[in-house]
Chains A and B, each alone.
Chain A
Amino acid sequence: EVQLLESGGGLVQPGGSLRLSCRGSGFIFSSYAMTWVRQAPGKGLEWVSGISGSGTNINYIDSVKGRFTTSRDNSRNTLYLQMNSLRVEDTAVYYCAKELNYYASGRGSDSWGQGTLVTVSS
């Protein structure tokens, strides 16, 4: 059974940093692209970032470029999202999701984590 377990969320002040982790199990982690999606309270889903299976191809939504960094450690079956210079508008539940393919994020995610809440507030 495919499982994705996120961790690292919490309360942080504006300008602060957090690192989210997402550990995968039940599948060959390195064979799939991975995606970060967030959902602000009462709002819709927003694609944040994606990374190919090898870690070579990475992209971000414009609003987080230069502040967030996505990476993966295939030896540890773990996906990361380093979030710096956090803003109030980054407050959301952050989900990691496994893509259906190896090459690129955004083509369809068949397994999702339970989500981790990031609250940016003073």
Chain B
Amino acid sequence: QSAPTQPRSVSGSPGQSVTISCTGTSGDVGGYQYVSWYQQSPGKAPKLMIFDVNKRPSGISDRFSGSKSGNTAFLTISGLQADDEADYYCSAYAGRYSGVFGGGTRLTVL
């Protein structure tokens, strides 16, 4: 299966909002309510930020929100902070007990 498409990079100033898109197909992003988003800082393991399209795990700030429209999912980060700077990956269930990750987006806080 091919990876969902994410923008290679996005940027924003502290306090602003940014949105990262994740465009897949009806076989993954669009086919199930199982889209997740992960934050990864250099040298660290990924951290779950959003699951089931728009749910936050315990301890994740409500500045992070998720949504989906058709075959595209979105991660919105509001009130940008310096420590939000990281790589962000979407992930989707692709059926038959398998998953797929998007290509990743580098977020720069200006």
The reply to whether B97 and A104 form a contact with Cβ atoms under 8 Å apart is: yes
Name A's B-contacting residues (CB within 8 A): 33, 35, 37, 44-47, 50, 52, 57-62, 95, 97, 100, 103-110, 112-115
The reply to whether B96 and A59 form a contact with Cβ atoms under 8 Å apart is: yes
The reply to whether A108 and B36 form a contact with Cβ atoms under 8 Å apart is: yes
**A23→B15 CA distance, assembly (Å):** 41
Q: A100-B51, A110-B51, A114-B45 are in contact. List 13 more A-B contacts (CB 8 A).
A: A33-B97, A44-B89, A45-B40, A59-B98, A60-B98, A61-B98, A62-B1, A97-B46, A104-B93, A106-B91, A106-B100, A107-B99, A109-B48
Chain B nearest CB from A45 CB (Å) reads 4
- Tell me the chain B residues, 96-110 only, with Cβ under 8 Å from chain A: 96-104
**B35 and chain A: residue at smallest CB distance:** A108
Residues of A contacting B93 in the complex (Cβ-Cβ under 8 angstroms): 104, 106-107
The reply to whether B99 and A106 form a contact with Cβ atoms under 8 Å apart is: yes
Name B's A-contacting residues (CB within 8 A): 1, 3, 34, 36, 38, 40, 45-48, 51-52, 57, 87, 89, 91-94, 96-104
Chain B nearest CB from A84 CB (Å) reads 20
Chain A nearest CB from B45 CB (Å) reads 4
Residues of B contacting A37 in the complex (Cβ-Cβ under 8 angstroms): 46, 101
**A97→B45 CA distance, assembly (Å):** 10
**A8→B69 CA distance, assembly (Å):** 41
**A103→B97 CA distance, assembly (Å):** 8
The reply to whether A107 and B34 form a contact with Cβ atoms under 8 Å apart is: yes
Residues of A contacting B91 in the complex (Cβ-Cβ under 8 angstroms): 45, 47, 106, 108
**A71→B93 CA distance, assembly (Å):** 20
**B37 and chain A: residue at smallest CB distance:** A108
**A107→B40 CA distance, assembly (Å):** 18
Contact for A108 among B47, B51, B87, CB less than 8 A: B51
Closest 6 CB pairs of A and B: A106-B99, A108-B51, A112-B45, A44-B104, A108-B36, A107-B34
Residues of B contacting A97 in the complex (Cβ-Cβ under 8 angstroms): 46
**A12→B84 CA distance, assembly (Å):** 37
26 A–B pairs (Cβ distance < 8 Å), ordered by A = A37-B101, A44-B3, A44-B87, A44-B102, A45-B40, A45-B89, A45-B104, A46-B101, A47-B98, A47-B101, A50-B99, A52-B97, A57-B97, A95-B45, A95-B46, A103-B97, A105-B97, A105-B99, A106-B94, A107-B52, A108-B34, A108-B36, A108-B48, A109-B36, A109-B48, A112-B47
